[in-house]
Every structure is written in C-alpha cells, then in structure tokens.
Amino acid sequence: MSEILKIAAVTKKFDKQFALSNVTFGLNEGEILGLVGPNGAGKTTLMKIIVGLTRNFEGKIICNVDRKIIAPAEKLFGCMIEAPKFYPYMSGYQNLKFFSSLNGKLNKKNLNDIVELMGLSNAVKKKVKTYSLGMKQRLGFAQALLNNPKILILDEPTNGLDPNGINEIRKYLQKIAFENKVSILISSHTLSEIEKICQRAVVLKKGKAIEIIDMQEKTYEDTIFAFETNETDEFLALLKAKNIVIEDVGEGIIKIRLPKEKLSSFIKDVVLKDINFTSVYEVRKSLEDKFLDLTGGNKIV
C-alpha cells in the first residue's frame, strides 16, 4: 500500500497557543481516512494546512504523487473546508464554471455529470443565494470533485445533508476511492458515519494526534461479552467469586470483560452452577465508545 500524503510533525501556533503540535500520520492511496476530535481539536486547521490555505506552519506536508502521472484534467487536491463559499448572485452552474476554469480547462461533460450526480440538475440554474444548507453543501461537493482530484480533503462534508444525500455521497466516495484510487481525508462529528466509510481514523485532541484507530481490527485488548440471563443475582455472585470484571449490568443483560481464550471455561462455570442464560455474544466497541474513552467525554480543548 503506498502512502500518497504524509503529514510530518505539523505544528501550528495562533499567537502563543498551539492549535496543532507535532501531528504525524500518513494517507494511503485509495484510502478513506477519518479525522475525528472534539470541537477545537485542530481538524479544520490541519486541513487548511494540507491544501495550502494556511501557509504559516512548522513541519511538512509531503505528497508522494508523481505529478507527471496525473492526467491534465486532474488536479492533486479537491477540498471542502468549513461552509463552502460561493458567489450568491451567480447561479450554481456559473459558480462551478468559474471555479473549474480557475483550475484549468473547463470540461463541460464532467461538470454536467457531477451536477447530475449531486442531484443538482434543476438547482444549478438558480442563484446560490436561494439555496438551502444542503443544496449549498451539494454544490460544495460538486466543486471539490470538479477536476477529478487525486486527494480529497473534506471537512464535515455531510453537515446539513439529508439521509439520502449522505447515503449517496458515501457510496460515491467509496466508489472513487476503490475504482480511481482517490485518497480521502474526511472529518465528521457523526462517528457512526466515519465508522461506515473509513478504514482508519486519526483521533485529534488538543492539537495532538493521540491515536489512529483501525476500524477493521476485530480484537481489542479487552473483549467484552454480553450474557442475556434472568438469573442476574446468581450470575453476579459467580462473577464476584471468579474475580471477573463487570462492564455493565442492564435489564437481563450482563456485560463482562474477559480474554477470549477464557470464555469457554467461564461458560463451563456458568453451566456447572446451573445458571441459565439465553444468549452470549461479543460486544464490539463502537468508534463512539472509543472516542469517548480517548477524548474524555464532552470536554473540549
């Protein structure tokens, strides 16, 4: 797997305050990488640095793309950072034409395809000032995709989109990542969405990349098992006797932490004690659980 973009020891100060300190990670070709973190963690600042909107920083952004292999109609970066800005008195179409021409030759067929893909065929004729939040967001996507970028930087792109829109865009991003090897860095506070679309996610906290979570990883250090039982008292007594860590006790469900290899012997103990249970299953921690563990709940900066 080749690394197409490297964020190397990036540090950014605003006055004396560090917005980013020593952030290092890589983006692989064709990968969709999540960027998550509480408000003020530094996500937008980092994305602006990556695409060159912010030039004053320490560290390096290294692109391992041979510019010669990029076709003339392609540019390296496409981005949508914070609320997309358009000329309100121009139509959506005029805006797209304008931005497209800034980045090279206008490819009308490509433009029309993207407009249709974003469900904007009718809306593009109207002035942008009449657009709803979601329509502006769709236009922002269209702009980011216009020149077939090799790397897409998307800052909270699904804000304001309806569930249908989110679904379509997720499928489209997965398609271009897989088929065209486009590499995508995407930030969002909707962690379930990040979990669906990304292979890995970088967790930023107070300007530091504190962890890279691999979403494909099946085994976490602690495996949590849920037992469904209506004999909770007996079950809890057994857990106590065996010194097993209780994760959670709910209505008819007890969650415990146990190394995987000890599960069968624990189940034997349960059976020997004649405690009934109707189901046992492994509980995977969601990205949201991990995020809360790592970032300490709702505390920001």
Ligand X SMILES: Nc1ncnc2c1ncn2[C@@H]1O[C@H](COP(=O)(O)OP(=O)(O)OP(=O)(O)O)[C@@H](O)[C@H]1O
* Site residues (vs ligand X, CB under 6 A): 14, 19, 37, 39-45, 301
User: Least CB distance from residue 172 to ligand X, whole Å?
Assistant: 23
On the 0-12 / 13-18 / 19+ scale of CB atoms within 10 A, 68 is exposed
What residues does 188 pair with on adjacent strands?
A: none
User: Least CB distance from residue 186 to Mg ion, whole Å?
Assistant: 12
Report d(CA 281, CA 301) in Å as an integer. 37
Nearer to ligand X (CB atom), residue 26 or residue 42: 42
Report d(CA 204, CA 189) in Å as an integer. 12
Collapsed DSSP state (helix, strand, coil) of residue 299:
coil
Q: Mark out the alpha helices in 56-132 (DSSP H runs).
A: 92-102, 108-117
Contacted by 59, from ligand X, Mg ion, none: CB < 5 to 8 Å by type: none
Say which residues have a Cβ less than 8 Å from residue 162's Cβ, sequence separation at least 6: 134
Nearer to Mg ion (CB atom), residue 80 or residue 124: 80
What residues does 127 pair with on adjacent strands?
A: 91
Within 43-62, which residues bind Mg ion (CB under 5 A)?
Answer: 43-44
Binding mask 261-290 for Mg ion (x = CB under 5 A): ------------------------------
User: Least CB distance from residue 203 to Mg ion, whole Å?
Assistant: 15
Report d(CA 94, CA 72) in Å as an integer. 22
Nearer to ligand X (CB atom), residue 159 or residue 199: 159
Nearest residue to Mg ion by CB is 44
Nearer to ligand X (CB atom), residue 205 or residue 290: 205
User: Least CB distance from residue 55 to Mg ion, whole Å?
Assistant: 19
